[in-house]
């Protein structure tokens, strides 16, 4: 989940919020809205993150943050990829033309 946008002159905690907990981010929800499991997961995000026994009961494998970094340049586009197994990458977008 992307929580905030921040740069080299702005601390992550002072970044621009994209979504707010405990609501599930809109991009993670089905069109008809989040199901009961998703609502529970996001509603108790920090409980899951800090209590391994809760993760074991639910089958959730990990709850943590990640902050990949790249120096962005004006006028360029970037591709952000979220992979099931290897986290997040940010790469300059290559125009196929």
Q: Which two tokens stand for residue 5?
A: 């946008």
Encode pLDDT of 40-75 as tens digits: 887 888 888 888 888 888 888 777 767 777 888 888
Summarize the confidence of residues 29-33 as an average pLDDT.
65
> Cβ–Cβ contacts within 10 Å for residue 2, how many?
11
pLDDT higher at 13 or 32: 13
The CA R_g of the chain, rounded to the nearest whole Å, is 16
Q: What are phi and psi of 96, to 5 degrees?
A: -70, -10
Whole-model pTM above 0.75?
A: no
């Amino acid at each position: 989940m992307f929580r905030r946008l921040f740069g080299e002159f702005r601390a992550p905690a002072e970044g621009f919020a994209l979504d707010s907990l405990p609501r599930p981010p809109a991009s993670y929800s089905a069109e008809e809205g989040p199901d009961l499991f998703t609502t529970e997961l996001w509603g108790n995000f920090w409980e899951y993150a800090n209590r391994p026994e809760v993760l074991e009961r639910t089958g959730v494998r990990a709850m943590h943050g990640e902050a990949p970094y790249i120096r962005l340049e004006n006028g360029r586009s970037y591709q952000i990829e979220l992979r099931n197994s290897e986290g997040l990458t940010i790469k300059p977008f290559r125009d196929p033309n």
